[in-house]
A and B are shown apart, each in its own frame.
Chain A
């Protein structure tokens, strides 16, 4: 299982290197997808059991950091037969391939999925280039 993630990590690094952009860091949780929608970037991460108050989100123009914790939830008075949902305290930083406008970042959590929408900085917005005839 971990070999697969290492391979995926190398694949991702290769993809980003090819585009000359930053990489996701090696920390494994939470897993995220990143979309480029032209004028904005959208990151979606799986964060089951976490509500808004459990996640701390910080952004710089070039990165997004997710931090928080989900503690062991063994309820009082129960014996444990199986525990696959490890308690965790996490902090993960994602390098962004484009600079973003810090005034225009929106985030929401629903059904255990965090969605962060980041407007690209105006200098990073795609723009039409007029081609002049000779």
Chain B
């Protein structure tokens, strides 16, 4: 168990995520408090997408009276299905929340099939 007054950083923690899907895309929403646009790194290697964010330790001078959280770096990996169009993955960060949109490739989207009279 980490010590209360320790100054060492915790290792990267896995952020909490929500994962949604509609016919056009997968939407991944992750809590990354403390992350900024420059500190978020998205890395796609084969079918593994890794979301990483560095968080600057805003440790202030003074005496720490209570510590319920440590600024940690964030890291979590996800397997991305083949059906995703990797070129069009988009990310947006706001108020420490990352929204990652993984659009489905056109080829796999549901489509109407015309039925012609025989």
Contacts and interface: CB of A to CB of B under 8 A. Distances in A.
A72 to B, nearest CB: 9
B50 interface: no
Interface in A1-57: 4, 7-8, 11-12, 15-16, 19, 21, 24, 31-38, 41-42, 44, 46-51
Nearest to B65: A34
Contacts of B62: 35-38, 42
**What bracket does the count of chain B residues touching chain A fall in?**
20 to 34
B114 interface: no
B60 A112 contact: no
Interface of A: 4, 7-8, 11-12, 15-16, 19, 21, 24, 31-38, 41-42, 44, 46-51, 73-75, 77-85, 97, 109, 111-113, 115
Nearest to A37: B62
A33 B36 CA distance: 20
B109 to A, nearest CB: 14
B100 interface: no
Nearest to A114: B33
B21 interface: yes
Q: Is the interface of A mostly helix, strand, loop or mixed?
A: mixed
Contacts of A113: 33-34, 58, 96
7 contacts: A12-B68, A32-B68, A35-B60, A36-B65, A37-B63, A41-B65, A85-B18
Given A85-B16, A85-B17, A97 B65 contact: yes
A37 to B, nearest CB: 3
B80 to A, nearest CB: 13
Contact of A112 (B18, B33, B68): B33
Contact of A49 (B4, B22, B97): B97
Nearest to A50: B95
Contacts of A97: 65
Closest 3 pairs (CB-CB, A-B): A112-B96, A37-B62, A112-B33
A58 to B, nearest CB: 19
Given A15-B66, A33-B67, A109 B95 contact: yes
A111 B64 CA distance: 22
B110 to A, nearest CB: 13
